[in-house]
Amino acid sequence: MLFVLWGILALVPGSNLNNGLNVVGFEYVFVLISYYKWYMKEIPIHYAAWMVTLGAIVILIWNVVLPMLIPNNSRLLIDLLWPVEKEWSIPIMLISFGLFEIFRRMVFYSRIVNIIAASSFGVYLITEQPFIREQLWSKWVVLSDFYDSKYAVVQTISYVIIICAVAGVLDLLRDSLFRVTIDRHRGVWFDKIWNLVFFKNRRKIQHPITSVNP
């Protein structure tokens, strides 16, 4: 039902089913992934490669052919392009599922990859902090300044790499600082607070304060 509502019906021009980077989109992807994980057999690796290829071809043709047939300033063109370019559209989901299956089955060890992966959550927290996010996308990196440039894709990828690298370095510095301070004696602060509160309350129980009526 979710696939029909937000996958197929979303291709209808002008349809707005509120499926984006929100709770609805999360539920949609979570249900699809859960169904695949719990009830379906694993997709063969060559099927996953075909999924990536098919999704990329559809997006490429959709974005190249339609502007050639419909004027660029037409509202119809926007309505037709939007369903395919949305985060959870069928072509993008094909690419996402296919890439996930391909890389999930690759077994290798890399210390560099592990370090970068360990900092990914820190990168997310840094870039999604309200103040940093406002400064980042409103003042430091303004997409509208180069949106119509012929090098927009290259510029966008470059900004993403730079932002992730800077935020990753900050998270590594945070990790190093915690390692020599808070994490050096893991749990010692909690133990001290716990002992302070526990023994303080224990003394109160052993020596209760009683009142004497006059």
State the pLDDT confidence band at 50, using cuts at 50, 70 and 90.
Answer: very high
State the pLDDT confidence band at 206, using cuts at 50, 70 and 90.
Answer: low
Instruction: Give the model confidence (pLDDT) of 162-192 as tens digits.
Output: 999 999 999 999 888 888 887 777 777 777 7
The domain spans of the chain are: 1-107, 108-206
* Res 177: pLDDT: 87
Instruction: Give the model confidence (pLDDT) of 114-137 as tens digits.
Output: 888 888 899 999 998 889 988 888
Q: Is 114 exposed, middle or buried, given 0-12, 13-18 or 19+ CB atoms closer than 10 A? A: exposed
> Among 67-71, 148-152, 205-209, whose mean pLDDT is lowest?
205-209
* Res 139: pLDDT: 87
* Res 1: pLDDT: 78
State the pLDDT confidence band at 15, using cuts at 50, 70 and 90.
Answer: low
* Res 49: pLDDT: 93
By percentage, how much of the chain surpasses pLDDT 70?
A: 83
The mean predicted confidence, pLDDT, of the chain is 80
Among 1, 24, 40, smallest CA distance to 88 is for 24
Checking if the pLDDT of 207 tops 60, the result is no
> Among 148-157, 167-176, 184-193, 196-205, whose mean pLDDT is lowest?
196-205
* Res 38: pLDDT: 92
Task: Give residue for tokens 């001290």.
Answer: 192
State the pLDDT confidence band at 201, using cuts at 50, 70 and 90.
Answer: low
> Residue 105: CB partners within 8 Å, gap ≥ 6?
45
What is the rounded average pLDDT of the residues 15-35? Answer: 76
Left (φ > 0), alpha (ψ -120 to 50) or beta: where does 47 sit?
A: alpha
How far, in Å, CA of 213 to CA of 73, rounded? Answer: 88
pTM of the model as a whole = 0.54
* Res 48: pLDDT: 92
* Res 61: pLDDT: 83
Residue 119 vs residues 104, 110, 114, 183: alpha-carbon distances, Å = 19, 14, 9, 17
